[in-house]
Structure 1
Amino acid sequence: MQQNSLLDAAYSENSTPAFIQTIMAQGADLAVSISGGKDSDAMIRLLAKLHRARGWQGDLFALFCELGRIEWLGVDEHLRQLCAALEMPLIKLYAKRSMVDEWQHRYETIIEKQEDKPFWSSAGARYCTDREKTQPSNKFLRGSEMTATEKPFWSSSAARFCTKHEKTQPSDKLLRDHNFVVCAIGLRAEESSARAKKPRYQVRNDIASVWYKTPAYCKTAEEKEAWAEQAYQNWLDSGRKGR
């Protein structure tokens, strides 16, 4: 299976998978994970355009997982301006530890256990993605309360940012349980052969109710996509019980 690519000249609005179009048309919220890099910038611009062009009624917002002092200095202002221009809320999330602190913690743990393995995150040890991005996003999408250090920042109607728009937690609208949500993540197929083989969509097991989680026997991209479609139908058949 070949992933769609924004770099493909033949790419068009119709390249959005039919299944995703279906659930968005039925009111799913759309959370767009962004980092400030070119891939996620391109993705959020495209999805904002699609969301408005198709008249999708679910909430549209951006999620940014702050990595700490490893981030480039202009990322906050860049994302504020980007989301203001796109007229969407920007939710800023924090992991339990910053990226640098995570490396230090992993190093100390490896030394304590006398293990022979690197502590740096790499293509073969992607623990950073899970702890620094996936876990904070899952916590938010489940509707869990954030820690005292976590707060969103919002654009005003005049695209001006001020402290009154920063709170210890997002508004009730964005903190409610997200039982029906699509979370878009930018994975560029050209970056590696492994990424090119990933499913275009799948159930996010960490926030899904147990009976909708992708079974362990689903190994291929095709199997994971097929299960996502089946799980969605099961959810509808249940009267939309669970997440």
Structure 2
Amino acid sequence: MTAICRPTAASTLLDLPNVIAEALVTGAALALSISGGKDSQAMLNLLTRHPQRSLWSGKMLALHADLGRMEWRETAATVERQAHDAGLELVVVSRPKGDLLERMKSEMRRTAPEGKPFWPTATKRYCTAEAKRDQLVKVHRRLGGVVIAAQGIRAEESPRRAKAQVVTVERRATSKRIRDLSPAEALAERKPEERLVLNWLPIFGVLIADVWAACDTSVFELEQRRALYRAYRETGDAALLAAALDGWTAHAAYVFGSSRLSCALCVLASRQDLETGAIHNPALFAELLAMERESGFSFQPNLRLAGLTAR
């Protein structure tokens, strides 16, 4: 069997902003949002292995917003494993009125009489807002006190994300009196009965090589495993499939060929990622393709699912 070259242990050390460090040592809860993707996995590992963790006196937990049928089939098991390996409780939340696919079908029905597009877009991301953010904020509110809501967003990912602030006050979940203050002011002026939620991007400045290292792997190992998986697809040799996936620490979608982990078929994904998602999630692909044909609106502004090579 082909030997896989494994990397050395990750050495990235996250710098804690002063307001975050102060909140953690004074009992703030730390809620880590994980999707199963490499960035949130890197964040999870870097924080749970952080040398200052013993000083953080508050609750630490992992949160996952389950998108239902829009998820990769491997995602639920992946986030469970990641949280278990990190030694954290996993809280899974979902949209109470149906999964994301149902939400898109509802939007299609609502907009049909007007003849308007219904798919989420970069500027109309009701998928993220309703299926992820709104559900996670409910947990932040229930935790009470001071909560740090950590997300695995990185500046390197896109020009838009590079403009994000590393620490912000989550106004939707913070008490009214302090919600418009800066993070440091809100923490300093908060009364014991008030709730403060701080959004934090711990790996904002971490580069891709260090992300993979924090996931206990590397780009080189990933390429090795992808080559084995391609050979399996060509030959059907189960031993090659086992070699490609056994011992892999991140989500299987990366080995399958996907460059990022989000919905199995995402309205913002590249053509290659859509084809990879369609191949490995045929039932979902069929549902979305039927919606595209029924509505007449393409899945992306310049790409129709009907034009994908999904085989």
Give the structure-1-normalised TM-score. Answer: 0.70
Deviation beyond 6 Å, 4+ runs, structure 1 = none
Equivalent residue number for residue 131 of structure 1:
130
Residues 1:99 and 1:51: Cα distance change in structure 2 (over 3 Å): farther
Q: Which residue of the other structure, out of 152, 171, 194, is the alignment partner of 1:242?
A: 194
1:242 aligned partner, one-letter code: E
Give the match for residue 88 of structure 1: 88
Aligned residue in 1 for 2:147 = 181
**What secondary structure, in the 3-state scheme, does the structure 2 residue paired with 1:134 have?**
helix
Aligned equivalents of 1:51 and 1:101: distance in 2? 43
2:187 to 232, 236, 239: 232
Q: 1:51 and 1:110, CA in 2 relative to 1: closer, same or farther beyond 3 A?
A: farther
Q: In the alignment, does 2:118 pair up with 1:119? A: yes
CA RMSD of aligned residues (A): 2.0
Which segments of 5 or more consecutive residues in structure 1 lack a partner in the other structure?
1-8, 144-176, 216-226
- 1:51 and 1:66 map into 2 onto residues whose CA distance is 31
Match of 1:205 among 159, 162, 171: 171
Distance 1:61 1:51, change over 3 A: farther
Q: Distance in 2 between matches of 1:87 and 1:10?
A: 20
**Please, which runs of 5 or more residues in structure 2 have no aligned partner?**
1-9, 196-311
Please state whether the residue corresponding to 2:171 is helix, strand or coil.
coil
For 1:36, what is the secondary structure of its paired residue? coil
| Separation in 1, partners of 2:50, 2:12 | 13
Secondary structure of the equivalent of 1:187? Answer: coil
Aligned to 2:227: none
Structure 1 residues 82 and 52 mapped into 2: Cα distance closer, same or farther (>3 Å)?
Answer: farther
AA aligned to 2:146 is F
AA paired with 1:209? Answer: S
Matches of 1:53 and 1:30 in 2, distance apart? 11
Q: Report the AA paired with residue 231 of structure 1.
A: A
Please report how far the alpha carbon of residue 26 of structure 1 lies from its aligned counterpart in structure 2 after TM superposition.
Answer: 0.9
Deviation at 1:12, TM superposition (A): 2.5
| SS of residue in 2 equivalent to 1:69 | helix
Larger Rg: 2
Answer yes or no: is the 8 Å Cα contact 2:19–2:187 preserved in 1. Answer: no
Deviation at 1:63, TM superposition (A): 0.3
More helix by share: 2
